[in-house]
Amino acid sequence: MSAIRLLVLGAVRQHGRAHGYQVRGDLEYWGAHEWSNAKPGSIYHALKQLAKQGLLREHETAPSTAGGPPRTEYEITEAGTEEYFRLLREALTSYDQKTDVKSAAIGFVVDLPRAEAAALLKERIRGIEEWRSAVTEHYVPEDGPEQLGHIGEIMNLWLHTADAEAAWTRGLIARIEGGAYTFAGEGEPFVGVLAEGEENPYATEERHPGDAR
């Protein structure tokens, strides 16, 4: 799964309508440019591709006051919303993925009902346990990594990572079931986006010409 696809759909959905510079600003504000492939070029490319696929709808607005070309704003479509939630649910349950997909999913987890979010994370734990069992068919943790030479350190790392992941996920489930955060249908959600004109302390220097303010 591509993290950029989930990130861009989720960012546009949070705004209702957003232009590329807003989406980029939000993702930089969340630090996504550090832990994913959400770099400026990838973001603008994803917006155009998602629009071509009918997952986003393009709206051309008036030219910027700086005299640049008309700004394109994007709005998520019904098909885009379906794809967004499909990606979100898959990312929350699947263990065989990189940190960027997991981080993107956690960033949007409150878009789901509380009970569903907890259930999906419990499914994730089952996946971790199954994956761990498959590894230990070939590697006995109690015998130490030396049993396979230095290559055993790879499997040792895998198991330690899986155990830490399972412990973290159980903690998150406990917090969710204990009432932490505001989930879908529970009231005003947490707003993790920059307001129009708000300074982004994490912004990078490069700008896209079509997004001049």
Domain count, the chain: 1
Whole-number pLDDT of residue 198: 67
Distance CA 210, CA 85 (A): 29
Which of 132, 59, 134, 125 has its CA nearest to residue 94? 125
* 97 part of a folded domain: no
* 48 part of a folded domain: yes
Give 2-23 pLDDT, tens digit per residue: 899 999 999 999 888 888 888 9
User: For residues 114 and 178, is the Cβ–Cβ distance under 8 A?
Assistant: no
Structural domain boundaries, residue 18: 1-83+189-206
* 33 part of a folded domain: yes
The residue behind tokens 């939000």 is 26
Whole-number pLDDT of residue 189: 73
* 60 part of a folded domain: yes
Q: Any idea what the CATH number is for the domain that residue 194 is in?
A: 1.10.10.10
* 194 part of a folded domain: yes
Which residues does the chain have with pLDDT short of 70? 62-69, 96-97, 191-213
Bridge partners (DSSP) of residue 75 are 17, 57
pTM passes above 0.75: yes
Give 93-113 pLDDT, tens digit per residue: 988 667 889 999 999 999 999
* 167 part of a folded domain: no
Whole-number pLDDT of residue 213: 35
* 159 part of a folded domain: no
Task: Return the number of other C-beta atoms located less than 10 Å from residue 122's C-beta.
Answer: 15
Whole-number pLDDT of residue 210: 45
What is the Cα 162 distance to its own chain's centre? Answer: 20
Which token pair is 128? Answer: 């971790």
* 61 part of a folded domain: yes
